[in-house]
Homo-oligomer: A and B are copies of this chain.
């Protein structure tokens, strides 16, 4: 199970919503279809070709029903009760392409939309909706050979539990049984867990498609839970990396290297993370030298030449974010890193915010750059 950065998600969604509301909206096109993330047989929520979302909720005896998606400052989208007593409404403007977490406020309590599938984010299972994206082909389920996503329960002495990780193995892992693979350790964001990348992130489908098109050298991806030191959103300064660092580098990596056919070397090990997972990547790659050679922060901060000097030089630094975040900060950081001789790549996802469409695209951009040496 697994979730992520809901507060930021909503913050940015709200901002873009407010912007849209201040301009003139185009007429709403009546071509609404059930969201791709609906539960089986459910007609609502729906999405139209412009990116508007429409909701229909049964709660005849509620005094109000709101949807958290839409105009943040004004409390999302308020539904109104129709003559048939169903609550009904459409977002005031089109939404960004890609995946959005949301929930309902029914009669003053927070519930999920019974029409939608659930995704772990903001330390709870939230409803999810998918606004079809112009570039959705790269994470579509296609008729290509598929890798597996394995649930692994690995022993963790430091936390005295069996901990869960998901391991993506590429399609040819089972055909060529002598082959060994590089490994990317890929972290979720705050409030999410290890289900985020395989579920809403489609990490496995992104890899399957890239491999089928011959665009990347196949590698393994390992995803585990990074919130070993629980902190509330807004209290990130209280976050201590040591507990998770121990789990990752002293327990999980040795387990993966003994249970999977990996190339167990620094040069063939990368770490990436989104949002809080980027913060973790930043801390751990700097603190644990000799483990990873390639670092990627997805909406998760920057590196400075000062932090990196006196350390082994990474063979890749990848920095990304959505265009609705702070791309200038990344560009400026990249210029300084380049000047200091570091191999840095910046990617900005157009017209997306601190949400999963940014990170799906970031993984798609990152994967071909990894393990080139």
A109 touches B58 (CB 8 A): yes
Name the one of B59, B107, B112 contacting A114, with C-beta atoms under 8 angstroms: B112
Contact flags A149-191 to B (C-beta < 8 A → 1, else 0): 1111111000000100001000000100100000000000000
Asked if A231 is at the interface of the complex by the 8 Å CB criterion, the answer is no
Taking a contact as CB atoms under 8 Å apart, the answer to whether A40 and B151 are in contact is no
Contact at B108–A61, with CB atoms within 8 Å? Answer: yes
Which of A11-19, A117-125, A281-289, A330-338 sits within the interface? A117-125
Interface centre among A58, A104, A177 (most CB of B within 10 A): A58
Most buried by B among A108, A112, A153: A153
Cβ A107 vs Cβ B107 within 8 A? yes
The CA of A117 and the CA of B1, in the complex, are separated in Å by 10
Of the residues B112, B151, B155, B162, contact of A148 by C-beta under 8 Å: B151
Task: For A58, give the chain B residue with the smallest CB separation.
Answer: B109
Scan A1-27; emit 1 where CB is below 8 A from any B CB, else 0: 100000000000000000000000000
Contact A124 B118 (CB under 8 A): no
A106 interface residue per 8 A CB criterion: yes
Q: Is the CB of B64 within 8 A of A61?
A: yes
Let me know if B146 and A149 touch, CB within 8 A.
no
Q: Is the CB of A174 within 8 A of B117?
A: no
A254 an interface residue at 8 Å Cβ cutoff? no
- Say if the beta carbon of A259 comes within 8 Å of chain B: yes
Q: How many copies does the complex hold?
A: 2
Assess the B148–A149 pair: CB atoms within 8 A.
no
Nearest B residue to A86 via CB reads: B109
Contact B109 A62 (CB under 8 A): yes
Whether, in the assembled complex, A340 has its beta carbon less than 8 Å from a beta carbon of chain B, the answer is: no
- Report the bound CA distance from A198 to B154 in whole Å: 17
A41 at the interface (CB under 8 A from B): yes
Given A152-B146, A162-B141, A123 and B63 touching (CB < 8 A)? no
A117 contacts across to B, CB distance below 8 A: 1, 125
Give the docked Cα–Cα distance between A125 and B148 (Å). Answer: 24
Contact A108 B1 (CB under 8 A): no
When chains A and B are docked, how far (Å) is the Cα of A161 from the Cα of B354? 32
Decide: B59 and A108 in contact? CB cutoff 8 A.
Answer: yes
B106 and A114 form a contact (CB under 8 A): no
- A114–B123 CA distance with the chains assembled, in angstroms: 11
Q: Mark A239-273, 1 if CB is under 8 A from B, else 0.
A: 00000000000000000000110000000000000
A143 at interface by CB-CB < 8 Å: yes
| Residue ID in chain B nearest A259 by CB atoms | B174
A residues 97-140 near B (Cβ < 8 Å) are 104, 106-112, 114, 117-118, 123-125
Q: 7 nearest interchain CB pairs?
A: A59-B109, A61-B63, A61-B107, A146-B153, A62-B107, A58-B109, A60-B108
Q: Which residues of A contact B (CB under 8 A)?
A: 1, 39-41, 57-64, 104, 106-112, 114, 117-118, 123-125, 141-143, 146, 148-155, 162, 167, 174, 177, 198, 204, 259-260
List 24 contacting pairs A-B, 8 Å CB cutoff, sorted by A: A1-B117, A39-B124, A39-B125, A40-B123, A58-B108, A59-B109, A59-B111, A60-B108, A61-B62, A61-B108, A62-B108, A62-B109, A106-B106, A106-B107, A106-B111, A111-B111, A118-B118, A118-B125, A148-B152, A148-B153, A148-B167, A151-B151, A151-B204, A177-B177
With A58-B110, A59-B107, A106-B106 already in contact, 7 other A-B pairs whose C-beta atoms are closer than 8 Å: A57-B109, A61-B107, A106-B111, A107-B107, A141-B153, A141-B162, A143-B155
